[in-house]
Amino acid sequence: MDVKIEPSWKEVLKTEFNKPYFQQIVLHLKTERSQGKTIYPPGSLLFNAFDKTPIRNVKVVILGQDPYHGPGQAHGLCFSVPEGVAPPPSLINIFKELHEDTGVPIPQSGNLTKWAEQGVFLLNASLTVRAAEPMSHAKIGWAEFTDTVIRKIAELKSHVVFLLWGKFAQEKRLLINESKHLILKAAHPSPLSAHSGFLGCKHFSKANTYLVSKGIDPVDWKI
């Protein structure tokens, strides 16, 4: 797999790409493809979050679990779908909370590229998934890679807002120095849990209040 990734990230992560675990990820993906299995997102979008948000621009991190596993949904940004694809249920709840919190109109499009281009790093803990099989690549090595990514952001940056939604994401707080970053935790936006603390969390306004207090431009959350 020829890793196409934005230069600043390539520099920060260059040692990871040569480690045995990463070579195993590459081999695993090649093997599954050779067996005719469909993997999402397409290879060209595997590192879309990195390409859209260079590390120097990162101001907010939103952490997802793994890519959408339906046709045409995943495009390398957690919770986001390409233009013309209906927003999935978790994203609908994200938009509901955004509207209630900030007054931003509920978007018609589920494409979050505009957020990514402003410094919202939309990272899935696993960067790939087999079609129709959620969490199918959770154990192939991606966690080691994306934990390193989170650790690097926490080490190299200051005053980043980490939005950790759900138990899985909240476990990553151990990788983050809370004395120089803001961690906001809430339930996952899935319909199964959104009413247990995600809806009403006001994370979007809280993130911007913190950024402004540190002299950092707030995020324009409008899509």
- Choose among 94, 79, 61: nearest CA to 162: 61
User: Looking at 2, 51, 66, 147, which residue is catalytic?
Assistant: 66
Active site residue 66: yes
Angle at 51 between CA 45 and CA 5, to 5 degrees: 80
Rg (CA), the chain: 17
Burial 5-42 (b: 16+ CB within 10 A, else e): bbeebeebbeeeeeeeebeebeebbeebeeeeeebbbe
Helices (H), the chain: 7-17, 20-34, 48-52, 89-102, 113-117, 142-156, 167-170, 203-213
Hunting for tokens 């803001």 — which residue is that?
182
- Please give the full DSSP string across 4-37, using - where no structure is assigned: ---HHHHHHHHHHHTSHHHHHHHHHHHHHHHTT-
Rounded Cα gap, residues 197 and 149, in angstroms: 27
Catalytic residues: 66
